[in-house]
Chain A
Amino acid sequence: MKRIAVAAALIALLSGCADLGVKPWQRDILAQPEMQLISDPVEAGLDDHIYFSKEATSGGRGFGGGGCGCN
């Protein structure tokens, strides 16, 4: 019974994957500037610079790089 449940869950998950995405004419919302992953690159850059100089972690979203003697 448990196996059937797991198999059913897997099938549901996989069929879910096949349904991912949109047709080209359904991109109206995703095309909005505020829906971009980094919707404000200037704000993101300022944040990265502050956190880079105050914490031991940088990067992840993009390159961690260096570029400042603050850390």
Chain B
Amino acid sequence: MAVDLEVVVVAVTKMTSQTEQAVAEHQLTHETSKASLTMLLASAGCALLAGLPNQAQASELDNWDFDAATLIYAESDSRVTAAEPVISATRNFDSETKLNLKLALDTLTGASPSGATPSDQAQTFARPSGRGDYDIKAGEQPLDDTFRDSRAAFSATWSAPINRDWAYSAGGYLSSEHDYRSLGVNGSISRYLNEKNTTITLGGSFSSDSIDPEGGLPIGLSAMAVPGSANFDQDFSNSRQGSSDDKTITDFLVGVTQVINRRTLMQFNYSISASDGYLTDPYKIVSVIDDSSGDNYGGNYQVNGQNLYIYEKRPDTRLKQALYWQTKYQRENSDIIDFSYRFMFDDWGINSHTLDLKYRWQLGDHYLEPQLRWYSQSAADFYQRYTTASDYQNVDEISADYRLGDMDTYTVGLRYGYRMAGGSELYARLALYQQQSSGSSGFGKLKEQALYPDTTATMLTVGYKF
């Protein structure tokens, strides 16, 4: 509309100057020009009037895009089950200026590995709250079944151009669950180069989190109180230090996005992330294994006739760095290949590789997208599946959390989508996720226990974009 009006104004200006030249020569020409001018103005006015009602009629909703989805995540063997509904709403102000609002809720139930090893004897553990206990049968994985949580997360991101060559984004983030809160801000600035074929982005993010665990903060490496013992209350409170702690996470990212050709796009990112504060998992423990020769070699080490378990303790800083490369390519038949690779290394001694491949198979209004992902990590320096009677008093940091151990994971998924008239889209995705851990198999009686069980999960996502 604005462009149309500009053309009309130029035409009017030209016609006016022509009219002025003509005045001295021919009055009739002037009259004709004036008539043309009137007609032109009238038509411009009509165009304006014709345009306005349309704009007024355009409902505010036309400026919004919505994406609503729900993920159901279920691990086998009645472990964690999660349901996560998300709604994302984007208000488009123009093609490059937008505000995105996103709300996610998630509910977790089920049992989570406590870190303790299975044993040839039944084991009893105090619940993290200090109220009550749970029993694990001989040979079974120690899973803490009190795991239950609800989380709500809200984020807002504003992105807009500054001028032809620069753009920026700014955002905020808030997440809350009964024992954890996170508050974050982030921002980025992008510079377009080479006819917008190259984009360089600098980003930063800062998050301040606080943790308020059930039953207070355990003292790292202290002994877990023995359920049912005469001194339980005293021992439990001796293993605690206050009720809450916090951590900060600071991220920086530099990225280059390059258009390779009409069908190919690439991105390279380098990112660095520094965490500082309470990085321990307050619900995780470590088994102490008897390494003195005898009948109980490889069994649980006992003090006063009771198994000894200690609370895990991690370093209070972590520096992670990652390199990320993504390529997206559209084939002649409109199928799209999306490939990415990430290499991460940190000062906890963890290295990881992630390969992700998606192939979008275009079938008219429908598409099918098979997905494959492989992830492999090496263990943190302080990761130990268990500690021993002769070592446990000498460790400074320890965790038996399998998520810090040697691990490979595989995801195989299939997404189906149907694009309807008017641009809305219905989609569903089913994915299987498997975690395979490995490590030393222990000694004595411990060798008979499965220390690194696989975990398999099913993920189902259903969503609608409109």
| A interface residues (Cβ-Cβ under 8 A, vs B) | 20-24, 26-30, 32, 34-35, 37, 39-43, 45-46, 49-51, 54-57, 59-71
Query: Which residues from chain B contact A65 at a C-beta distance below 8 Å?
Result: 173, 184, 186, 205, 207, 249, 251, 273
A37 neighbours in B (Cβ, 8 Å): 257, 265, 267, 326, 328
Is B232 on the interface with A (CB-CB < 8 A)?
no
Task: Judge whether B461 and A46 touch: CB under 8 Å.
Answer: yes
A26 to B194, CA, bound (A): 14
With A56-B352, A68-B151: A63-B262 Cβ-Cβ less than 8 Å = no
Bound-state CA distance A41–B330 (Å) is 19
Please report the C-alpha to C-alpha distance between residue A30 and residue B257 in the assembled complex, in whole angstroms: 12
- Bound together, the chains give a CA A22 to CA B323 distance in angstroms of 26
Given contacts A22-B197, A42-B69, whether A57 and B322 have CB atoms under 8 Å apart is: yes
Q: Do B326 and A61 touch across chains, with their CB atoms under 8 A apart?
A: yes
- Please measure, in the bound complex, the distance between the C-alpha atom of A35 and the C-alpha atom of B322, giving whole angstroms: 24
Q: Which residues of B contact A41 (CB under 8 A)?
A: 67, 88, 100
Q: List the A residue with the shortest CB-CB distance to B353.
A: A57
**Residue B54, interface by CB 8 Å:** no
> Given known contacts A21-B195, A43-B463, what 9 new A-B pairs fall within 8 Å (CB)?
A22-B262, A24-B195, A40-B67, A49-B84, A56-B348, A59-B271, A63-B186, A68-B153, A71-B281
| Sampled A-B contacts (26; CB under 8 Å) | A20-B259, A20-B261, A21-B195, A21-B198, A21-B261, A22-B259, A26-B262, A29-B262, A35-B265, A35-B328, A35-B336, A40-B67, A45-B86, A50-B71, A51-B375, A57-B350, A57-B375, A57-B377, A59-B251, A59-B322, A63-B205, A65-B173, A65-B249, A65-B273, A67-B175, A71-B403
A66 and B265: CB pair below 8 A?
no
Residues of A within 8 A of B71 (CB): 46, 50
Q: Find chain A residues with CB under 8 A from B342 CB.
A: 57, 60-61
Expressed in whole angstroms, the Cα–Cα distance for A59 and B205 within the complex equals 12
Question: If A23-B195, A45-B104, A60-B322 touch, does A66 touch B86 (CB 8 Å cutoff)?
Answer: no
Q: Whole-angstrom distance between the alpha carbons of A45 and B104 in the complex?
A: 10
Q: Are B354 and A57 in contact (CB under 8 A)?
A: yes
CB distance from A31 to the nearest CB of B (A): 10
- A58 to chain B minimum Cβ distance, whole angstroms, is 8
Residue with the greatest number of chain B CB neighbours at <10 A, chosen from A29, A43, A65:
A65
Residues of B within 8 A of A61 (CB): 269, 324, 326, 340, 342
Q: Interface majority SS on A: helix, strand, loop or mixed?
A: loop
Evaluate contact between B271 and A63: CB separation under 8 angstroms: yes
A55-B409 contact given A21-B195, A42-B69, A49-B84, CB 8 Å threshold: yes
Q: A59 to B203, alpha carbons, bound, how many Å?
A: 13
What per-residue 1/0 map shows which CB atoms of B188-214 lie under 8 Å from chain A? 000000111110000101010101000
Which residue of chain A lies nearest to B455 when distances are taken between CB atoms in the complex?
A54
B contact residues, range: 35 or more
Residue B30 lies at the interface, judged by CB distance under 8 Å to chain A = no
A43, B461: Cβ atoms closer than 8 Å: yes
Using A21-B194, A50-B459 as known contacts, say yes or no to A63 and B253 having CB atoms under 8 A apart: yes
Flag whether B180 is at the interface (Cβ < 8 A).
yes
Q: A39 to chain B: which residues have CB within 8 Å? A: 338
Asked if A68 and B265 make an inter-chain contact with CB atoms under 8 angstroms apart, the answer reads: no
Nearest to B325 among chain A residues (CB) is: A60
Known: A42-B463, A69-B211. A60 touches B269 (CB 8 A): yes
Contacts of A68 in B (CB 8 A): 151, 153, 175, 177, 180, 182
Tell whether A34 pairs with B326 under 8 Å between CB atoms, given A61-B269, A65-B251, A69-B177: no
B73 at the A interface (CB under 8 A): yes
Chain B residues 276-302 with CB under 8 Å of chain A are 281
Q: Within 8 Å CB of B275, what residues of A? A: 66
| Shortest beta-carbon distance from B115 to chain A in Å | 14
Q: Quick one: which of A23, A57, A63 contacts B251, CB cutoff 8 A?
A: A63
A55 touches B322 (CB 8 A): no
For residue B385, CB closer than 8 A to chain A, the reply is: no
B344 interfacial contact with A, CB 8 Å: yes
Contacts of A45 in B (CB 8 A): 86, 102, 104
Question: Which A residues are in CB contact (< 8 Å) with B108?
Answer: 70
Report Cα–Cα, A70/B184, bound state, in Å. Answer: 17
8 Å CB contact of B352 from A40, A55, A63: A55
